[in-house]
Each structure stands twice: as C-alpha cells, then as structure tokens.
Chain A
Amino acid sequence: MGLYRVEDRRLLTGRGAFVDDLNPVRDLHHAAIVRSPHPHALIRGVDAAAALALPGVVAVLTGRDVAALCRPFPSALPRQAPYYPCAVDRARFVGEPVAVVVAASRYLAEDAAALVQVDYEPLPAVVDPERAVTDPEAPLLHEDVGSNVALHRLLEYGDVDAAWAQADVTVGGRFVFPKYGSQPLETYGVVASWTPGEDVLTLWSNFHGPFSMHPVVAQALGLPSHKLRFIVPGDVGGGFGIKTSIYPYLALIGLAARHAGVPVKWIADRQEDLTASSSSTDRVSYVEAAARRDGTILGFKMRIYDNVGGYFRPPEPGCIFRPLGNYVGGYRYRNLRIDGYCCFTNKSLTGPNRGYGCQELYFGVERVVDRLAQRLGLDPAELRRRNLIPKDAFPYVTPTGGVYDAGDYEACLDKALKLAGYDELLRRRDGARAQGRLFGVGLACGVDPSVSNMGYVDIAATPEERARRRPKSGATQATTIQVDDLGKVTVELSTCPQGQSHETMARRFVARELTLPEDDVAVVSGMDTSTRAWTVPTGSYSSRFASIGISSAVVAARKLRDKLARIAAHQLEARVEDLELVDGVFRLKGSPQRAFSLKHAAGVAHWDPASLPPGMEPGLYLTHYETMATAKPPDDADRVNSSNTYGFMADVCAVELDRETGRIDILQYATVHDSGVILDPLIAEGQVRGSFVHGLGGAMYEELAYGPDGAFLSGTFMDYLCPTFTEVPPLAIDHIEVPSPFTVLGSKGIGESATETVPVCIANAVADALAPEGIPVDELPVTPAKVWRWLRAAETARGPVPQGGAGVPTPAPG
C-alpha cells in the first residue's frame, strides 16, 4: 500500500534533505548573529576583541564591515533609508543584526557572540504606525526621509465624491490588525561558500522565491549576477511566504563567508525566527463605505497605515499593493479611494506572509459591510448578495484593474450558508440571546488572488515616475522535462515547494499527458540558478502552483509529447495529426495495429538520430515557460491586474462567548471556495485546513507583540501562540468549481484562501455576539482577556446585566 503523496515516504521516515542536512563543501564553519536588544539605538562602537581571542573563532563581521563590503538593498528609498543586512551605526528594531561571528562550531560562535561588546546609546522608539506618521513628537527612524512615511500613494478609482453625494448612508470605523508571521517548522537556514579565483558566491538556503530577490542580492553584494548562485534543496520545511524575506540573511552570511574565507552555515534558532525573520504588516486603517438605502454599495474610502518596521525592503509595499486588483473583493461597486501609507516604526521587518495584504484589507472592509447591514437593518448575507458581482459578468474588470477570470460568487455564498445551516444558526443565536447568552454569527466573503503579476510592485511609483523607466510585468513559471532513451521521464520543477505536494501533482499530470504510468515519471524539485530554468517570478508564493506551476508542467509535457509524436509519425510514415497516444503508444486512428511506442520514439532520438524527421534536433529535453497574457504593467490611471487568477471564498462562523471569563468558543465554521477546477480533493482540503488554521492564529492567537517602548514581547511559543490541533473547531469545507479560462487545467491557487477571510469572519461573529453589549470589535487578535475587559468596561458604563439578561436593547455601534 503506497502513501498518498510521492513525497510522504521520505518525509515520514526522516529522509528528507533540508538545508540543515546539507554539508555541500568541506571545512564548513558556523555563524551566530549578535542582535540588538534595543528597539532604537545608536551604535557607538563594536568591540570584538574578546570574541576574536576565543580559540576557534575565525572572524567577526560588524555593521561597519558590512557597509564597506556591500550596498543597500535596492528599494523605493535606497539612499534616504538605506537597508543593509546588518545595522550600521544605528539599530532600528529589537533583533536587528549588529555583528556576525564565524567559528568552527555553532557552540563556539554563540559563546563568542556573547563576548562581542556593543556600545549602544538608546533612542526613543515608536511602534504604532499611525502615531509614527501623524505625531510630530514621534521619533524619526530615518532623518534623511524627513518623516516616518516610507511610502505614500493616494489612489482614486471612479468618482468617490460623487458616490458619497448620492449615498443615503455612510458607515465606517478605525481598525487595528495585528502583526503576525508563519513560524514554519523549519527556520531560516543558509550555507554560503565563496570560491576564490572564480569569485562565485554559492548560497544554499530554504529561500522559495520569487527569484526577483536574486538580482536584489546581487546588486547589494556588488556581484555580477552570474557569479551569484542560489541553490534550494528539494525539501523546504514550510514557508508560507516568510522565506521570501530570507534574502538579507543570504547577503549577510554570504558576506561573512567571503570575509572569513571559509564556508559558513547559519540555521536560525526559534527565537531568531520569532524576533527577526519576517511577518505581515500590522495595520491601522480607517475604512468607510457609502451605500444606498437598499444596500447597494456605492464606494469605499480607505486610509491605511501599514507598518513595515525599521526599514523598507522589497517586495514591500506589496502589503498594500499586492491585492490592488482585488481591493473591491467580490463586490461590484466602482468608486474607491485608497490613501495608503507605509510607515517606519521600531518593529521587525515585513514581507509576504500567507494572504499577503488580503487579511488586513478584508478585516476593515468586511467589518464595515456588517456595520452597513446593521445600520440598514438588512441581513448581512442578503446585503452581501445584493452587491456581489453577477456570474454573467466574468471575465470582470475591477475598477482597480483586476481581471477576475471566472466565478459564481452568489452560488458560493449560498452554498456556504447552506453548509453552515445559516438560518438555523440565526435561530439559535436569537434563542441564546433571549437567555442573555453571548452568541454570534459572522460572515465574510473575499476574493483570493493568486499568481501575482510582477507589475504590481510598480504601483509604488507614480505614473510619471513609471513613464521614465522600463515597465514591469509577468508571472512566468518554467518546467523542464526530459525523456531518456528508455522512455522514462524526469520533470524538473522550478517551483521550490515547501510541502504543498508539487511533486505528486506534477508526476500525476505529466504522466496523464504522456499516457504513462505515474511510476515512469520522476520529479526533481529544488533550484539551482546556475543550471536550472528560472526567471524573476519563479518560485512558490502567491499560490502559484495550482495555476501557473501545473500549467507550465502540463504544457512542457505536451510539447515533448508532440515532438515524440512527430518522431513516431515519421517512423509510421503517417501524418502526425492522424496519430493518437494511448497507454504510451502512438497509433494510427482507425488502425491501431500501426503503432510506435513513446519509448521507441524516445529511443530513436537518443540512439538513432539519423532516423529522425529531416531537420529535427535530437534532444528530448525541453523547458516551457508559462506566463499569463493578463499580467501587464500598471496603466496611467494606476490600474493593474495585480494577480492573474482570482478565487472566491464565503465563510460562516458561529461563536459563543463566556460572559464571566471572556472565553471564545467557535461552535462551527464553514468555508466554501471557488478555486476553479480542484486538481486533487485531499490536497486541496489540506491547503484549506492549513489556511484556516493560519487565519485562526491571526484572529485569536498569534501576535508579534511589542511594548510601547519597543521591547519585543513574544520571543517564545508561550507568548506567541500558534493554534494547535486542540484549538481547531469543527470545520466544514466545500467547493464550487468554475473553471478558470486562463489556466491550462482551469485551476486556481488555493493555499492562501481562508487565511484571508478567517480573521474577519471570526471578528464578525464575535462582534455579533457582543452587539447587545454595544461593543464593537475593531481589533485583532480577539482574546479571552480582551473580551473580558470589553465586557467589564461595558458593564461599568451601563451597570450590571439584569438577571437573565433578556430585554437589553441592541444599540448600533459604528
């Protein structure tokens, strides 16, 4: 009995090969990183003498050394707010690298790191993004910028003022979304080796793309790009986006190896990953909607303060702009104003994290949609239904330039309501409420973007700035396939999987195209930029595999199949269009006895090229680069199709809160997705469950918390709570399948999906439960402690709940 996935046996028997398992060069040394304990401080000096005196210590690289050896990473503000992989003269967040020690073992390196004396002069810190840019007293992080605004863009689509003039009602609020990350089982890890003479820097790591970070690192290191080699092992122990942002450590450990003259390995410990890997942004947003009395939404205004931490690094400002094409979510309103600020504060740095920008966006939007329903006295499901983009409108171009490929949003919502038993939940709620219990039902809808278009990054620049340089666009993914002389197939992926079953899926669909048994197909994952096919968007992020990743594999297989068919046709003296491929054999349609196997066709190419069709190259090794016609640069009106396929999800959640303890029980959660054609039900379910749990973390548990003084407060798993099996409530999952016309198999990404809607769906349910108390839920995570405080404050304001609690009027917050 085989395991379900081709990856499982090696992973489950400890035979995976992860970056820490690699010892690719001899004389490997180890690095430990000295990090700032201060959120904000001048570095007056670094004394490494005691560390260097320790036997076994080879080198200590300080911020000054780093500044002398490399350039700031390219960004929108490379000169005014230079970002180096190590603090130079000033530390701007707790955990920022200050020095790197290279020694014969990790133990020695850690001991020596403790001996490095850093003379700090602490400076005042700021952690709140809104305060950082609106309070003139807030400490400045980068004097040359002149403020803590890393980036500001005011974008307007449609006619927002006209929408407000026509509106019967406007509702809004201020929303606070927390900073959280991913915490994959495998932490960041890098092995660096500098080859003198060739002057090539080879970096093994668990980086998972996009490989646009390759030129970013090459430019920072001042290396010709062909002298910088990224190698990624076939096994990466989870990433969820945050390993995109390992690149500063690639540069840092690379510099350390070059400086020390020995190859260096660095594997982050858990505290380092919590303190200074990468996370999504925390956000303060003001979100307001205008609507007609019948519930028709006319427009939205959003003022966004996104916290990028101490430095602004690529691919930020993706936090604001990655979802640009789907800012309207599933709704058909056309007027939108986005006043977006990326703010410097003394927090750790940010980047892609499962859902990248969407959970922050939908938190404000879907809370406001609920308030609108409350204001208008409409059922929240009915209000949403009235505003959803109708199914005959696809492909649908959003006001911000998104091209929604396909969908039936109303069917998806209806299925979710049915799956959850929405009407029954409302009856239960009303019954519980009559008894004074705190029972709530919440909804959320969202559009799930996948296969991001590199062009979105350019929204950071104004149209005038963009006009002066070459445009960016694209979403390319490559797959290479070879057939050997005995007809066996090897597929080289460029997707850098982190556990999402790419090998299983590529094997299955390539075998299907070639009509071969799956055992005849082997899949190689991982990456080597010096020997494998790649380009800047390559990698595993933005839920790319189920759409463009598998598309590239299937088309590569078809190209190879077509070449083999031409060889077979030549052998059979038939026209290629008269052949069919059945069970690995090309045969003449109508006369199946005239046949030539795929294996023999491959043999001809390898052993007897003289018998190939005239002019045909003998190779059976080809690469297909799949891209998306819809991935275009932003236009002059700042519209961009920021992703290339768009799924949809509708979630329903029921909660009950304990009035005495604040405990939040999720009684039920239902999520229905339209991710196009489902390629594999079990793997899809795994992705949805994972994305649900990640969203649950953001809603109720996970927070990279900081004190108001900038101290980092969540350096262990006792403080940074990751939901575990016991926290996961009953989860009902279903799908509808509206095929995408833009992908080869009609499939779309699914791995981020519920992460984007779960936080706000739970918030909406908790808010519904607390509505009789007049408590708005405008911040996450919602924790028992917070609910308890809100309830006590409400009691104090109103006096204690009467016995039984019945008859308390329902005020309308917001």
Chain B
Amino acid sequence: MIVEGQVTFDAPQETVWRVLLDPAALKAAIPGCESLTATAEDEYDAALKLGVAAIKGNYAAKVKVVDKQPPESYRLSVSGSGGPGFVNVEGRMKLAADGGRTAVDYHFDIQVGGMVAAVGQRMLGGVAKMMMGEFFKALQKQLPAG
C-alpha cells in the first residue's frame, strides 16, 4: 500500500528538518508511540500501541534513518511486529523551502501482514491516512511558534 502526499509546515526548512529527526518530538507525534529509544546513530527501537478496527495490539519496531541529505531529504524504514501481525514501512521525505514555510513531500510504501491484513485490510488505507494526518498535526505543535 502506498501512502503519499504533501504537507506544509509553518516553519523554516532547517527547523522542520531538525524536528522531523528529533526523537523526543517524534515520540510525541507518532500515534500510539510509547517509547522511542536510540540504539545507534539514526537507529531506534520503538514500542507502539496501535489499533486497526478491532485488531489492537502492541508492536515492537525498529526504525532506521538512512540517506540523509540535510536539510532536503532522507529515507526511513520501519519494521514492526506484534501479536496482531507485522508492519513494514519504507518511506521517503523530501523537504523544500516555500517562502518562510516548508513543504514536505512524503511517500510511504507500507506492507501489513498477519491478522491486521486478514481482517482489517478494508480499513487500512483510511487508517494509514488518518494516522499520517495526526502525526503531521502533532509535529506542527512541536515546532516553535512561527
């Protein structure tokens, strides 16, 4: 499943770049994120509590940020698994200055398996979009008031 789009932040590119890669800001913004611990440079272990329809559960995920081109782009991969199944995400973020604001192009290739896919696939697209919206909205709040 591909989820992609563009979101504009009311902050300069350097600031958005910093917040997008700040573990504390991310922990606060990622829906259901209970912990986000750095294990190495640009690598994190995350504990997530997520629900799709009736299928709720805990996931342990590994997050990796690669191909960093500050302040323009990076890729990230997330592989999580838990009782209800697994989720793998390959993502790409592109930042571009837009006056004093910053446009972020995102493109995520999401693979979901196990019970979540078997019983929740009708909802997955909507749920993914909703979570993406929550994430960016929460991130905007982390930005210094502009």
Contacts and interface: CB of A to CB of B under 8 A. Distances in A.
Q: Do A and B bind each other?
A: yes
Interface of A: 37-39, 94, 114, 120, 122, 271, 274-275, 707, 709-716, 718-719
A39 B111 CA distance: 12
A309 to B, nearest CB: 16
Interface in B93-146: 111-115, 117-119, 121-122
Contacts of A271: 115, 118-119
B83 interface: yes
Interface in B53-100: 81, 83, 85-86, 88
10 contacts: A37-B85, A37-B86, A37-B113, A38-B86, A122-B88, A271-B115, A274-B118, A715-B117, A715-B118, A718-B122
A758 to B, nearest CB: 27
Given A37-B113, A94-B114, A719-B122, 9 more contacts: A37-B85, A37-B114, A122-B88, A711-B121, A715-B117, A715-B119, A716-B118, A716-B119, A719-B118
Given A38-B86, A114-B83, A713 B121 contact: yes
A25 B81 CA distance: 39
Contacts of B119: 271, 715-716, 719
Contact of A715 (B81, B83, B115): B115
A711 B122 CA distance: 13
A-B pairs with lowest CB-CB distance, top 7: A37-B114, A715-B118, A711-B117, A715-B119, A37-B85, A713-B121, A711-B113
A711 B112 contact: yes
Interface residues of B, number: 15
Nearest to A38: B113
A139 to B, nearest CB: 15
B24 to A, nearest CB: 30
B113 A94 contact: yes
A713 B118 contact: yes
Contacts of A39: 113
B118 to A, nearest CB: 3
A707 B117 contact: yes
Contacts of B86: 37-38
A93 to B, nearest CB: 12
B2 to A, nearest CB: 13
B111 A275 contact: no
Contacts of B115: 37, 271, 715
Contacts of A38: 86, 113-114
A719 B118 CA distance: 8
A122 B114 CA distance: 12
A712 B114 CA distance: 7
A711 B83 contact: no
A714 B118 contact: yes
With most chain A CB atoms within 10 A of its CB, the pick from B81, B83, B88, B117 is B117
A275 B116 CA distance: 13
Nearest to B79: A122
With most chain A CB atoms within 10 A of its CB, the pick from B85, B86, B118 is B118
A710 B111 CA distance: 10
Contacts of A114: 83
B118 A275 contact: yes
A709 B86 CA distance: 13
B116 to A, nearest CB: 8
Given A37-B86, A38-B86, A114-B83, A712 B122 contact: no
B114 A709 contact: no
Contacts of B121: 707, 711, 713, 719
Contacts of B113: 37-39, 94, 709-711
Given A37-B113, A38-B113, A94 B83 contact: no
A597 to B, nearest CB: 63
B127 to A, nearest CB: 15
Nearest to B84: A37
A709 B111 contact: yes
A713 B117 contact: yes
Contacts of B81: 37, 120
A87 to B, nearest CB: 15
B117 A712 contact: yes
Contacts of A122: 88
Contacts of A718: 122
Contacts of A711: 111-114, 117-118, 121
Contacts of B85: 37
A506 B111 CA distance: 54
A713 B118 CA distance: 4
Contacts of B118: 94, 271, 274-275, 711-716, 719
A274 B115 CA distance: 12
Nearest to A95: B118
A140 to B, nearest CB: 20
Nearest to B86: A37
With most chain B CB atoms within 10 A of its CB, the pick from A120, A710, A713, A718 is A713
A37 B57 CA distance: 14
Contacts of A719: 118-119, 121-122
A710 B114 CA distance: 10
Nearest to A716: B119
A33 to B, nearest CB: 13
Contacts of B122: 718-719
B113 to A, nearest CB: 5
Contacts of A715: 115, 117-119
A122 B112 CA distance: 12
Contacts of A120: 81
A39 B121 CA distance: 16
A101 to B, nearest CB: 14
A114 B84 CA distance: 9
B110 to A, nearest CB: 11
A439 B4 CA distance: 41
A494 to B, nearest CB: 37
A42 B83 CA distance: 18
Contacts of B88: 122
A112 to B, nearest CB: 12
A545 B112 CA distance: 45
A704 to B, nearest CB: 10
A710 B86 CA distance: 13
